[in-house]
Chain A
Amino acid sequence: MLILIAVLTLSFIAGSFGLILGYAAIRFKVEGNPIVDQIDAILPQTQCGQCGFAGCRPYAEAISKEEAPINQCPPGGESTIVALADLLDVEILELNEENGAHSEIPLVAIIDEMNCIGCTLCIQACPVDAILGSAKHMHTIIEDECTGCELCLPPCPVDCIDMVPIKQTLADWKWPAPETLSGNQHA
């Protein structure tokens, strides 16, 4: 008899919570998939394709569907992996070096104007339209908009594009963190 009462009580409790959860799932349902936007906001928007996807947004969508791990982005580096791990509550992974290495100093492309033939192949390749120019006219890279994705280098038939580090100015100098006894790990 007692067992029956116990079973009924527990079933009742389980049932009511189930109903509450069901109601909450419908009442508080979130439209769309905001997680993709949140992941995309963390990615560096280099649009380089080194992750294996055609840009940052497709990679973000793949992460949200758990079809890709979070350590594929070389321009994002460790800070992006940590931020993604924090957002998605997953383990922090080491950057997958097969996709490329992370460089601390950001690089931008620069066209050697002596050799440019005005073929527009690089303009078509640039994912953020950072190259100014037109057919048979000089091409130039808008330094402020260049993300350093290097997609313009392969198409150039005369190989006149180089990657150079961004000039460090007084405005973007940062104080280094002081040394600690534990050897400057994040603790």
Chain B
Amino acid sequence: MPNSVYSFHGGLHLDDHKSESLTQPLQIASFADELILKVSQHIGEPNTPVVTIGDRVKRGQLLAESSALVSAPVHAPTSGTIKAIENRSIAHASGQKAECFIIVPDGKDEAIDVEIRSAESTALDKAALLDQIRSAGIVGLGGAVFPTAAKLTTANQHGIKTLIINGAECEPYITCDDLLMQNYASIIFKGISYLQAILQPEKTIIGIEDNKPAAIKAMQQALTESSLSNITVTSIPTLYPSGGEKQLIKLLTGFEVHSSQLSFEIGILCQNVGTCAAISQAIDKSRPLTSRVVTVTGPGIKNPGNWFTPLGTPVSHLINLAGGYTIEKPKLIMGGPMMGLTLKSDQIPVVKATNTILVMDQQEQEIAQECIRCGRCTEVCPVQLLPQQLYWYSRTHQFNLTESYHLFDCIECGCCSAVCPSHIPLVQYYRFAKGEIWDQRRKTYKSDRSRKRHEFRDARVAKQKLLDEEKRKLKREALAKKKAAELAAKEKTEAESSNSQNADAVQAALERVKARKKAQQVDPKNTTDLTTDQQDQIDEADARREKNKVDDA
């Protein structure tokens, strides 16, 4: 059995506190009196309920779904009645509520009728497998709760060369995957075989931390018993956070997934062992995802252990199963001590993402001291960032500088906060900075839209004004034309009538003049009977006139 040869920078050797919850075997939790089943238990588009208040439901029945690709349906964990569909407190840092089904179990635990595939039936093809995985509501049970069917579909389009199965479980206190591997290794391998059928990778590597020798042994055994090939079970050194996806990939293959990439872009895909087991149940037994293994542990719990828990079980029920609290003021954490989430009450239900309920002592929250720039955070960061610089820039709100120091590559593992001598809550600074940057991006997107809408509206109004102006102009012109035409017509008729009157008067006048002229028509007396002397005088004058005429010319 090979050991990994690669390593990643930084990381912390933590006290693993695993033995406390390994004293008991894996048990099955009873049903609580009331199950609070969150309607959407995945990353992606939220689900809408398909049942209503008062409906009687059976175990495995579809309760809520969404048509989006990145979504996963939710099924009833047991038979009972839907008492209500209302907002209840859920596991979120804000303490906000979300829509939940309130199911009252009827104690009969009847399942819906399903066709169980027999072993002899022909193997399902890729599409059918993916369909089964999707309708079973399977999401990544390592904590990310990304819908598995969507992840596999996208990965398949790219082509996967290496499939990695994450059995690392690096965070202290958590032992759910450990016990799952010890007790149900063969089921996990069934699930892996289905993954191999879908993805057809060249090789498969199962990574398990070396503080789980029993699990490694069980998985080795199951591997030899199964008929799968090209699979190795690799033990990796116990170092937090070797179970982080990018860190595990580096440990097992030596490849570093680029900060802007997802792992399938370099042909590698990672799945948790719990997800594999769920896939096997979904395909072999047509069981949708309705329960998961949850570790209940911590210094504040009487009998720590692991329980196979129906989804929707309130945390208080599990704590009762584990013997109850041993401290007065318990601090409830969903998840591990490094990356978990504080719960404000124990009425919060278990969801697909719940791997542990950790009960610790209430710590007094002191205000951090100043950063002394000691650099220990840089020494332990598994992503090789400069946490100190990210801290300075987050604190002074210089968010563009945090981005240039690769803030979004931070996996929020908590190694830096765990070694800081000034006890500065570094991870909270980075979460704060990320939130502010996302908020700023949303605001910018909104303001860009508003600007466009405003410009469009101004343009629309201006255009409308122009159109109105045009219309008015045309109307004015039309009116003016009409008026002019009317006027012209009027003048013409007037002119015509006055013209004919004038013509008669003129004619009459002309006639009178002619008549007068005729009356005055008398010949002159001295042009006939001329004497010779008179004739000579006239001839002389004429000749003189001729001569003058010639001279003048």
A binds B: yes
> In the complex, are the beta carbons of A45 and B454 less than 8 A apart?
yes
Stretch at the interface among A15-23, A91-99, A176-184: A176-184
> In the complex, are the beta carbons of B435 and A127 less than 8 A apart?
no
* Distance of A126 Cα from B453 Cα, bound (Å): 10
Stretch at the interface among B441-449, B501-509, B522-530, B534-542: B441-449
A172 at the interface (CB under 8 A from B): yes
Q: Report chain B residues within 8 Å CB of A187.
A: 395-396
Q: Tell me the minimal C-beta distance from B426 to chain A in angstroms.
A: 9
> In the complex, are the beta carbons of B450 and A175 less than 8 A apart?
no
> In the complex, are the beta carbons of A130 and B453 less than 8 A apart?
yes
B431 at the interface (CB under 8 A from A): yes
B92 at the interface (CB under 8 A from A): yes
* Distance of A172 Cα from B434 Cα, bound (Å): 12
> In the complex, are the beta carbons of B367 and A175 less than 8 A apart?
no
B471 at the interface (CB under 8 A from A): no
Q: When the two chains form the complex, which single residue of B368, B432, B438, B454 contacts A128, counting CB atoms closer than 8 Å?
A: B454
> In the complex, are the beta carbons of B450 and A170 less than 8 A apart?
no
Which residues of A (38-81) have their CB < 8 Å from a CB of B?
A: 40, 43-47, 55-56
* Distance of A169 Cα from B46 Cα, bound (Å): 13
> In the complex, are the beta carbons of A170 and B94 less than 8 A apart?
yes
A112 at the interface (CB under 8 A from B): no
Which residues of B (435-465) have their CB < 8 Å from a CB of A?
A: 435-436, 438-439, 442-443, 446-451, 453-454, 456-458, 460
> In the complex, are the beta carbons of B450 and A177 less than 8 A apart?
no
Q: Tell me the minimal C-beta distance from A63 to chain B in angstroms.
A: 16
Which residues of A (95-128) have their CB < 8 Å from a CB of B?
A: 126-128
Which residues of A (129-147) have their CB < 8 Å from a CB of B?
A: 129-130, 145, 147
A173 at the interface (CB under 8 A from B): yes
Once A45-B447, A173-B94 are accepted as A-B contacts, the answer to whether A145 and B453 lie under 8 Å apart by CB is yes
Q: When the two chains form the complex, which single residue of A45, A176, A178, A186 contacts B450, counting CB atoms closer than 8 Å?
A: A45
A174 at the interface (CB under 8 A from B): yes
> In the complex, are the beta carbons of B367 and A55 less than 8 A apart?
no
* Distance of A180 Cα from B367 Cα, bound (Å): 6
> In the complex, are the beta carbons of B449 and A145 less than 8 A apart?
yes
* Distance of A128 Cα from B451 Cα, bound (Å): 8
B98 at the interface (CB under 8 A from A): yes
Q: When the two chains form the complex, which single residue of B96, B370, B425 contacts A178, counting CB atoms closer than 8 Å?
A: B425
Q: Report chain A residues within 8 Å CB of B424.
A: 178
* Distance of A145 Cα from B448 Cα, bound (Å): 11
> In the complex, are the beta carbons of A178 and B98 less than 8 A apart?
no
Q: Tell me the minimal C-beta distance from A136 to chain B in angstroms.
A: 20
> In the complex, are the beta carbons of A174 and B450 less than 8 A apart?
no
The 6 closest A-B pairs by CB, nearest first: A174-B435, A45-B447, A45-B450, A128-B453, A175-B431, A173-B94
In the assembled complex, 11 residue pairs joining A and B whose CB atoms fall closer than 8 Å, in A order, are: A43-B447, A44-B443, A44-B447, A44-B450, A45-B447, A45-B450, A45-B451, A175-B93, A177-B428, A177-B429, A179-B367
